[in-house]
Amino acid sequence: MDTQPWLELSFRQSPVGGDTQEAHGDITALGEALAGDPALGVVFLVHGFNVTQAEGREAYRGMNLAQGALAPGRDNTPLASGRQVVQVFWAGDLDAPELARPAFYPFAIGRARETGRLFAAFLSSLGAHRPADQPLSVEFIGHSMGCRVILETLKNLPVKDRLWIHRVLYLAAAVPTHKLETGKQGDLRPTWLQWSQGEIPWHSLHSWDDLVLTYAFPLGQSLGGPGEGVLPTALGRNHCWIPLPYFQQTRIAHAGHSDYWGNQLQNPGGCSKEETQANKDAAWAINQYMGFTQGGPRESAARETAARAVMEAQSAGLERTTPQVDL
């Protein structure tokens, strides 16, 4: 586990289902941390669709443990050195029997948009207290529709000069690729172009073996209303061939839709060998892109090989697969 406590930020009224709500949670603690260390950055974790607050905490806990397993020799060094990790919760689920919950997907798209509006207002309030010459460094890790929440957040941000979007990592992104194309249907492309031109390219982890994005996403997205497309392709389903500057992509072999945060590693008996390996490979790709603390001299040759493969993924025109990593 990380030696630095992770804070919580919620945009939901209820732990299960319910509507959206303005930001609440550990806001005071975050403000005090930023005031106490002006150089401190923030990493926001954003879960996906059909996730209750308790399930979101479990996913984030899985990531915490998976990243901790990659850094056994770090002692008391925080995983995200120089950054405060914040767990974000949003109302992308329905309070209903489990079998009925996926039917909420088309309505959750609207919730993602509304959460993005509220999230942007919160970030603007953080940026408003920064000196013009010392913008707040912001990083995101999103999974599934949480990636849409991130893009909707950036779309609603009114100012740029006091917020620096340092890194954005998309895990199995449930974002229609046509929204990143040129033309009228690409309504998220201007947002991408405005905010992605930093020193570190945005990064997407995707998988051909993601059955949720292969079959459920196109249908659910098609029912989402105007602009959501007809049987669209998800960014996290395959390599995206749309020309996007400052963008890298990595394929996680054999990864299912839930094989990214790392919480599956806490129950290895419930996963196949391929799924377990996919969780490990995703954890290592996250570690390398985000610059999380590692185990120093304890790193194995396999990890070093994986690190080189991830960091060499510099071109959106090249497919890259993460080598197998042992945790």
* pLDDT at residue 320 is higher than 70: no
Q: CB within 8 A of 171, min separation 6: which ones?
A: 141, 142, 143, 144, 147, 205, 236, 260, 261, 282, 286
The pLDDT of 271-277, averaged and rounded, is 89
- Residue 239's pLDDT is 93
* pLDDT at residue 67 is higher than 60: yes
pLDDT in tens, 23-35: 999 999 999 999 9
What domains are there in the chain, each with its CATH number?
A: 7-311 (3.40.50)
- Residue 297's pLDDT is 35
Tell me which residue of 184, 305, 297, 177 sits closest to 249, measured CA to CA. 177
**How many percent of the chain have pLDDT more than 70?**
86
Q: What is the pTM of this model?
A: 0.90
H helical segments located in the chain:
27-36, 53-69, 105-128, 145-156, 189-195, 211, 217-222, 273-290, 301-311
More confident residue, 319 or 278: 278
* pLDDT at residue 304 is higher than 60: no
pLDDT in tens, 209-238: 999 999 999 999 999 999 999 999 999 999
* pLDDT at residue 295 is higher than 90: no
pLDDT in tens, 136-158: 999 999 999 999 999 999 999 98
- Residue 31's pLDDT is 94
Contact 70, 279 (CB under 8 A): no
- Residue 135's pLDDT is 92
More confident residue, 70 or 281: 281
pLDDT in tens, 77-132: 788 889 999 999 999 999 999 999 999 999 999 999 999 999 999 999 999 888 88
- Residue 269's pLDDT is 73
- Residue 316's pLDDT is 39
For 10, phi and psi rounded to 5 degrees? -120, 145
- Residue 57's pLDDT is 96
* pLDDT at residue 287 is higher than 80: yes
- Residue 176's pLDDT is 97
Block residue for tokens 């659910």: 220
